[in-house]
Structure 1
Amino acid sequence: MSRFYRFILNFGIAVVLVCLFLTSPAYSLAASDAKIPEGDLFKLGIEKMRHGSYPEAIQDFTEVIKLKKDFAVAYSNRCLAYLQLEDYQNAIADCNQTLKLTPNNVEAHLNRGLAYYRQGDYQAAIADNNQVIALKPNDFRAYYNRGIVRGMLGNHQQAISDYNLALTNIPQSSSLLEADVYNDRGLAHFELSDLKTAMIDFSEAIQLNPNDYRAYYNRGCACGRSGDNSCAVRDFTESLKLNSTNAQAYLNRGIAYHQLGHEPAAIADLQKAVEYFAQQRETTLYDKAFLLLKNLQQQLSSLSEIALIPRDAKTKEYGVSS
């Protein structure tokens, strides 16, 4: 499983918390004045980036760099393409080159910080975000990204402080990004066992972005941890309406149904969880879901056998006549 997901499993309910990292958005692509000979080729690379043709965009930016080795924005945009392809070593190399040519390049620090994060080099990621904050103190992305990294390091109170700063500086028109910050701040409160505040944050995220399955899912986890399994079932159901292949939601809703005594529904959900975990090659979670399903089916089988024993079976066993 990718390190971008956090798993918390306890006896009462299996909680899978999804935490997404904010990448540099598409509008961070640096433009060219097109007055240089390689301008058209550069523009072509930008257009391919916008259409998701990342390998082709890399080829175009590489040709631009061959023609003009000190063209910083070509390195910067090629870095973004490498990030999209999860080629973090090359992304970092291009960001390094960008920063050699333009030392105070905020986007290069943001993108290199993201690459370091995804490699698991959290201290280097924090250092890049610190540099962004020093250069541009009102850039909410650096606070948000640093908060994510601090959360991964277990520094949840510091993460909350960074999320607060991100919310203070975020543009008013960015409701979807604001929802992401509330969702991740809710995760930090959850980690600190402040379930009430976590649910408030998840609810705020849902209000800002009703189509984000993660916020419903995470609030369902908080409900389950609080012992409110009806609330958990409701939120997992809403999450599955938005993402019908979320195996973790089936697993956790199945456990919630079991806690409520709705065994057929629990078995159906655990079967779905097993199916999707198998498809997604999530071996560890597949094994957990399969074991839960097997145990629950065995319990129901035993109850059925007991229920089928006739009332006079004991007297017949001992041969006592009426």
Structure 2
Amino acid sequence: MGNLWRLFVSVIIVFYLTFLTLSAHSAPLSITQITASDFLELGVDKMRGGNYQEAIENFNQAIEVEKDFAVAYSDRCLAHLQLQDYHQAIADCTQAINFAPDNFEAYLNRGLALYREGDYLNAIVDYNRAVVLKPSDFRAYYNRALARAGDGKDSEAIFDFNLALTQIPQITSLLLADIYNDRGLAHFLLQDTQAAMLDFNLAIRLNANDYRAYFNRGCACGRNRDDFGAVRDFSQVLKLNPSNAQAYVNRGIARYRLGYHLDAMSDLQKASKYFDNQGKRVAYEKTLDLLKNLRQQISSVTEIALL
């Protein structure tokens, strides 16, 4: 499954542009009249359009005009996050916090950058501060849960997932599905398969098009030796995400245990092809080894049956 934890991007603060209507006799604005807020809002517009590098240039201009403009640093952090420049994102949010120590978004965004770098402990420190600043905002609890899970603290992660569920707006069903899915993973890692299954079922009910919840439920079925259920869920994963090599591997194993040996071999062959195409050499080699072992076992069973 690789990194099990889906990373949660902070919601960008939305600023609304106010357009001034000039009369026929009004003079055009000079460059010196453009404020830091004007540049900021241009950058936010670029962010909405996915033009992150151009957004950074606008945020740079805002900061040139107003050196201590904390919001510009915080928003530039978001642009760097989108470009996966986590080091610069951390630096920008740190500067934002220096200028505005109660900047909730800056703590949230710096925590995300730290999480992306694998620095879970410092990410948790930032999320702790965010929780203090806005105890009713589900994002801080959810992000802290992911960081705690990344640090192997699954019980604490479940506690935070529960808190996030009490604060999240109920209309956001897709976000609810994400939280149930991630909480299910924490239960699964704690060997509480029953609780994990309940969460994966809820996630699927809320978002029937998210292949991750089917994948995770398939793994839970496999642990319970419900191979028919595992085949069902991994098949759904492949409908939604046809190049998911690990789903082919897992379905192949379930099919082998059910006695569908030819189907199992076919799944493993497809998995090895996708791993090879994706450049995942370790997974490719392991799948070939598994395929070889299954062939030997099938051959051995056939020989015994013919004696």
TM-score under structure 1 length normalisation: 0.85
How many Å apart are 1:298 and its aligned residue?
A: 3.8
How many Å apart are 1:264 and its aligned residue?
A: 1.3
**Correspondence for 2:247:** 249
Contact 2:245/2:274 (<8 A) preserved? yes
C-alpha separation in 1, matches of 2:68 and 2:177 = 39
Contact 2:5/2:150 (<8 A) preserved? no
C-alpha separation in 2, matches of 1:203 and 1:266 = 26
C-alpha separation in 2, matches of 1:277 and 1:19 = 21
| Pairs aligned (count) | 294
For 1:13-92, list aligned pairs within 5 A: 18-25=4-11, 27-29=12-14, 36-92=34-90
Change (3 A) 1:29 1:5: farther
Q: Please list every run of 5 or more consecutive structure 1 residues that lacks an aligned counterpart in the other structure.
A: 7-17, 312-322
Q: Secondary structure at the match of 1:173?
A: coil
How many Å apart are 1:204 and its aligned residue?
A: 0.2
Q: More deviation in 287-296 or 230-239?
A: 287-296
C-alpha separation in 2, matches of 1:177 and 1:231 = 25
Q: 1:283 and 2:268 equivalent?
A: no
C-alpha separation in 2, matches of 1:28 and 1:154 = 31
C-alpha separation in 2, matches of 1:297 and 1:53 = 51
Contact 1:42/1:64 (<8 A) preserved? yes
TM-score under structure 2 length normalisation: 0.89
**Correspondence for 1:184:** 182
How many Å apart are 1:33 and its aligned residue?
A: 6.6
Change (3 A) 1:125 1:32: farther
- What letter is aligned with 1:189? H
Identity of aligned residues (%): 56
C-alpha separation in 1, matches of 2:9 and 2:206 = 20
RMSD, matched Cα: 2.1
How many Å apart are 1:180 and its aligned residue?
A: 0.6
**Structure possessing the higher relative contact order (Cα contacts under 8 Å, 6 or more residues apart):** 1
C-alpha separation in 2, matches of 1:57 and 1:109 = 21
Q: Secondary structure at the match of 1:285?
A: helix
C-alpha separation in 1, matches of 2:265 and 2:48 = 44
For 1:138-153, list aligned pairs within 5 A: 138-153=136-151
C-alpha separation in 2, matches of 1:251 and 1:30 = 47
C-alpha separation in 2, matches of 1:303 and 1:77 = 63
Q: Please list every run of 5 or more consecutive structure 2 residues that lacks an aligned counterpart in the other structure.
A: 20-32
Change (3 A) 1:120 1:152: same
